[in-house]
Amino acid sequence: MDSYIIESNKKKSRMPARLDFAQSATGLILGLFMWVHMMLVGSIILGKGTFSFVAKTMELAFLSKDGHGFPIAVFFAVLTIFTLFIIHALLGVRKFPVSWKQHRIIRDQMQMMNHTDTNLWYIQVVTGFIMFFAGSVHLYIMLTNPGSIGPYMSADRIVSGNMWPLYLILLVCVELHGTIGLYRLCMKWGWFSGKDARKSRKTLKKMKNRATLFFLSVGILALLVFVVIGIKHRDQVGEKYSKQGTAVEQVLADDTDLDVKDAQGADKTHE
């Protein structure tokens, strides 16, 4: 009885609740960012010119006189996302099964209950573990090469740099983890719950499934487009995209113009 009184008189810590809130906040920001990021990357589907415009806009090219932009803007954007990514991962790992015994217990309970949301949480655990390594590699590359975003440079990195397996794995994990995470946030904090909680849950699950299918489709199609561009551009690795065409195409065009001018001059002399 004495021990019960002592325990009950202890001040309860609010730290777990604060950590949960921080995890939810960082997850919300990262989830929404990934949707925007996927749409920006997916602009390659509309053509190299469109993707180049998006990349230059991210570099704030509209503020520079020469139109080259400021890669440092991309650096700080990536640094911010990388910081949130690490914080979110550290907060999330608190709830990971840290031993094989804990993992086995969770798996047994999942099989016994066959609860959909619990299964979704487990998918988040697995994808989150993979993303911690794959995502860190991608973010580090962007952090150290902020000016290497463009139709040709990105495609060269994917194909000639043999990064396509990493990006494919990362794409699947990010879209599954992100959409499940946003769905679970809505359920956890009661967003869009409405009067009928069961009906709202079904609606949110349908939205989650559609969002996952949509962004996976956009991401895979964009990756395929980059692969095609990278294969065609293998002989000019490192070359930057230009609206006037590649450097090789520009040289050929200049030679053609000189030939035409020489021919016109010869005709005039002959006359």
Q: Given pLDDT bands bounded at 50, 70 and 90, which one contains residue 6?
A: low
pLDDT digits (tens, 9 = 90+) for 115-125: 888 889 999 99
Tokens coding 162: 């043999």
Report the alpha-carbon distance of residue 212 to residue 175 in Å, rounded: 6
What are 227-250's pLDDT values in tens digits? Answer: 999 999 999 988 888 875 444 444
The reported pLDDT for the residue numbered 21 is 92
- Our CA dihedral for 96, 98, 101, 106, rounded to 10 degrees, sits at 0
Please give the model's pTM, rounded to 2 decimal places.
0.80
Residue 134, CA distances (Å) to 75, 112, 142 in order: 19, 32, 13
pLDDT-based confidence at 7, cuts 50/70/90?
low
Nearest to 187 by CA among 24, 34, 75, 76: 24
What pLDDT is stored for residue 10 in this prediction? 58
Q: With beta carbons less than 8 A apart as the criterion, state whether 141 and 210 touch.
A: no
Better-scored residue on pLDDT, 206 or 112? 206
Task: Give the domain ranges of the chain.
Answer: 22-240, 241-271
Determine the average pLDDT of the residues in 252-264.
45
Cβ atoms of residues 174 and 131 within 8 Å: yes
CA 208 to chain CA centroid, Å, is 17
Asked whether residue 270 carries a pLDDT value surpassing 70, the answer given is no
**Residue 5: per-residue pLDDT:** 53
Which two structure tokens, joined as six digits, stand for 166? 């990493």
Terminus-to-terminus CA distance in the chain, angstroms? 119
Query: What CATH number is given for 22-240 in this structure?
Result: 1.20.1300.10
Chain mean position to CA 224: 16
* Torsion angle of the four alpha carbons 112, 114, 117, 119, in this order, in degrees rounded to the nearest 10: 80
Tell me the average pLDDT of the chain.
85
The pLDDT value recorded for residue 87 is 96
> What percent of the chain shows pLDDT beyond 90?
59
